[in-house]
Amino acid sequence: MKTAHKLGALGLLIALTTSLCCITPILALLAGIGGLASTFAWIDPLRPYMVGFTILVLALAWYQTLKPKRQTNCSCDSTDFPTGKSRSTPFQHSVIFLSINTTLAILMLTFPTYAHLFIPKTEGNIAITHPSKIQKVQCSIRGMTCSGCEEHINHQLSTLPGILHTTTSYRKGNAIIEFDPSRTEINEIQKAIEKAGYTVTDQREIL
């Protein structure tokens, strides 16, 4: 049981580390500290391997817990214990504790799929703009790792005046922004993205 307990704790720790690249942007947004957003972006390429290792460790922990115990011949009777009671398994070595660790690990591993739920909704400063005045720009962005990063950038841009629509993709590594140039300039859009903790590597106007 002790080995299973250690493996379960290790699995939870790896799962938490695996999702730091997605958890950090959410914490940065909620705390208002933009510079932290892409701190753990380097973990993203390693994520598939870490997910696999987490599953392997947890599977081994459950095997250690559920495998049949070897029977030993012992002539000891229960009166040998000072209290007259049989030994009980500590909670941290129990199946319940391992179940809690496993559940938390699964929640950490799947965090990128529901990270967007933690992004506060923002109404933004949308105003009616004549179509002829709408400008569209595409920004190439480095540091995004999941849908949580997309929502983080969308939220940051929505605070600017004149932003009409934003489409951000972490898979493509870019954001396409429609805005009113009379109210917001392209350099302000870049500053907003970089304030969120990401890096704009290129930008071009879409005609």
- Residue 33's domain spans which residues? 2-68+91-114
Residue 145 reports pLDDT greater than 90? no
- The pLDDT of residue 81 is 47
Confidence of residue 94 (pLDDT cuts 50, 70, 90): confident
pLDDT in tens, 19-67: 887 787 777 777 666 666 666 777 778 888 999 999 999 999 898 888 8
For residues 203 and 207, give the distance between their C-alpha atoms in angstroms, rounded to a whole number.
Answer: 13
- Total domains present in the chain: 2
Confidence of residue 165 (pLDDT cuts 50, 70, 90): very high
pLDDT in tens, 129-144: 566 688 999 999 998 8
Classify burial at 54, counting beta carbons within 10 Å of its beta carbon; exposed 0-12, middle 13-18, buried 19 or more. Answer: buried
Which of 114, 148, 175 is at the close of a domain? 114
In a domain, residue 123? The reply is: yes
Residues 148 and 195 in one domain: yes
- The pLDDT of residue 135 is 93
Mean pLDDT over each residue of the chain, to the nearest integer: 81
Q: Which residue is listed with tokens 């229960």?
A: 78
CATH of the domain at 127: 3.30.70.100
Confidence of residue 84 (pLDDT cuts 50, 70, 90): very low
User: For the CA atoms of the chain, what is the radius of gyration?
Assistant: 25
pLDDT in tens, 178-188: 999 999 999 99
The reported pTM is 0.65
Classify burial at 98, counting beta carbons within 10 Å of its beta carbon; exposed 0-12, middle 13-18, buried 19 or more. Answer: buried
Higher pLDDT, 36 or 196: 196
CB hemisphere CA count around 47 (13 angstroms): 19
Residues 97 and 6 in one domain: yes
In a domain, residue 27? The reply is: yes
Residue 128 reports pLDDT greater than 60? no
Share of the chain above pLDDT 70, in %: 78
CA torsion 16-17-23-29 (nearest 10°) is: 130
